[in-house]
Chains A and B, each alone.
Chain A
């Protein structure tokens, strides 16, 4: 049987490798950007071949932001990383794969699109969830992934914390609030998409804390008659950053095309693609055009409230950090 299969397999492999692009890029990204990059890659490939006459093939890998960073550190040959939060790229930079000043190399914190954290609730909003403090009411089941593994979950957690600190005025009260919130969480998935599937497909929970783009996508996929998006008055400005992985790009000789790829985000076309996929664009013109697609939310940044990612990571999500303390009880 093997003797019969082997030539067949060899034939198939040969047939598929007959087509080869001038450049191949591997983009290692986080969970909910699958649809976004499917669109963006198509646009970039067309634009690049028009401009330079060269063909590019872009391969994608998606997963929880933290575990994707880990894979790149372990040797996954990513030319570019497009992760959920700066800390994960910092972790790659700490191993010398990315230059330390990576976040200064592209404008706007190297985050060409942004998002925020919103609530996805079931039709008619039966538990009347309007704002963050509704989440700690008894009997409300909240779905969020695990902040230890998921970038989106860390944004969820920090958004809740930022709200509580502003409303109640102290870090202690914020800690109590977040602890109460996690008491209402029945399951912690490892990635944002896993949580969405838990909430949407398996019907677990009353409210899903989600990336705004993820909430819109779920609504598009399953119909507005099933789910409603509730935007809280105050939330966090989530900045998913992008970077060229210097070590890999230099070795493969793909630096120029990798840089062109990331810069394409800052064009009108790139910004429009972000907006179409429910990521908040940075470009003011495109932002105005898509104004109605996004709820008005007051946004605070991680630098304002937490003093940047490195500090937030250490205080909250490190070994024995605040998340460990509250989740133990």
Chain B
């Protein structure tokens, strides 16, 4: 059922994995080894393969891409516009759709800004300092990646549900967390927890602490060092993490579905609404919302590509000095 909604999330997750692998701390020896492999590969360039093999490989790659990426995208947009452009915009102007869009933006804004602060602090602590329990902290940060989103949602039901640990107290004080915006935000924060920290740690580790040490020896305070030296160095990596975090926050289905309560026009986010509309045989409306999510994915991709270029430039010594 989550075929429409899963567009953004698994892709974003893959990108996150790929990027952490790319940026992963590579000790000099490893880097030399990879250089050797690259040189060996270069001497037997793919372009020197015989024509038919080249053709087959390219055709395979292209058809794979078409089937798994292009075709679903085309289907989403084709279904969204199947009854004309007016029906499309009418579907998006429905109060339920507007409320879902609003809620999704609100939840993304809350969870991205909180995770931004948390991610920077965590990455800073991990990359620039040595302390006991560091590996454990890294494992903890990675936890949401390895836990199924449904479980993430259920955890909050167990904590904040009326039958949960704090349920009685919350009910008595009339505080609504579950089945309301706070619960949805909490679940989203949990699943998007690792993105910012994960994209910063390798970058900050590679940059080392020399510049900070220089700043402090010149008399800068801790905060000054952070804002004048550390932050400018990581800005592209930070934006990159925020971008992925945002994509996942807006696209999250499983965890949010568990804590939402599915109240019409109140606690349905866009991915949830896609499923609901689909189950109500409102295919145009369903795919219209899905197309917004798909567009978000496309924008994310473009911005991501730009940021990656900036990141690469930023990592060379010449780029950093500018």
The answer to the question of B150 belonging to the interface, with a C-beta cut-off of 8 Å to chain A, is no
Inter-chain contact B280/A13, CB cutoff 8 Å:
no
In-complex Cβ contact of A9 among B105, B112, B171, B279 (8 A): B105
Of A8, A26, A35, A61, which is in contact with the most chain B CB atoms at under 10 Å from its CB? A61
Inter-chain contact A74/B162, CB cutoff 8 Å:
yes
The answer to the question of B265 belonging to the interface, with a C-beta cut-off of 8 Å to chain A, is yes
Chain B residues with Cβ below 8 Å from A12 are 98, 102, 105
The CA of A31 and the CA of B280, in the complex, are separated in Å by: 10
Do most interface residues of chain A lie in helix, strand or loop, or is the interface mixed?
helix
Chain A residues with Cβ below 8 Å from B261 are 61, 71, 76
Q: Which of A183-236 contact B (CB under 8 A)?
A: 193-194, 197, 221-222
The answer to the question of A60 belonging to the interface, with a C-beta cut-off of 8 Å to chain B, is yes
Residue ID in chain A nearest B183 by CB atoms: A75
Residue ID in chain B nearest A62 by CB atoms: B262
Q: Which of A226-257 contact B (CB under 8 A)?
A: 251
Chain B residues with Cβ below 8 Å from A77 are 176, 179
Chain B residues with Cβ below 8 Å from A75 are 160-163, 167, 170-171, 176, 178-179
Residue ID in chain A nearest B264 by CB atoms: A60
Chain A residues with Cβ below 8 Å from B263 are 26, 59-61, 76
Inter-chain contact A71/B179, CB cutoff 8 Å:
yes
Chain A residues with Cβ below 8 Å from B102 are 9, 12-13, 16
The answer to the question of A95 belonging to the interface, with a C-beta cut-off of 8 Å to chain B, is yes
Chain B residues with Cβ below 8 Å from A6 are 109
Chain B residues with Cβ below 8 Å from A34 are 280
Inter-chain contact A76/B179, CB cutoff 8 Å:
yes
The CA of A16 and the CA of B178, in the complex, are separated in Å by: 22
The CA of A114 and the CA of B281, in the complex, are separated in Å by: 23
Residue ID in chain A nearest B179 by CB atoms: A76
The answer to the question of B164 belonging to the interface, with a C-beta cut-off of 8 Å to chain A, is yes
Chain A residues with Cβ below 8 Å from B281 are 221-222
Q: Indicate whether A74 sits within 8 Å of B157 (C-beta atoms), given known contacts A12-B102, A193-B279, A221-B281.
A: yes
Chain A residues with Cβ below 8 Å from B307 are none
Contact code string A28-42 (vs B, CB < 8 Å = 1, else 0): 000100110000000
Inter-chain contact A59/B164, CB cutoff 8 Å:
no
Q: Indicate whether A197 sits within 8 Å of B279 (C-beta atoms), given known contacts A73-B162, A77-B179.
A: yes
25 contacts between A and B (CB under 8 A): A2-B109, A2-B116, A5-B105, A6-B109, A8-B105, A9-B106, A9-B109, A16-B102, A34-B280, A35-B280, A59-B263, A60-B263, A73-B163, A74-B157, A74-B164, A74-B178, A75-B167, A75-B171, A75-B176, A75-B179, A76-B179, A77-B179, A193-B280, A197-B278, A221-B281
Closest 9 CB pairs of A and B: A75-B162, A74-B161, A76-B261, A76-B179, A60-B264, A61-B262, A221-B281, A193-B279, A61-B263
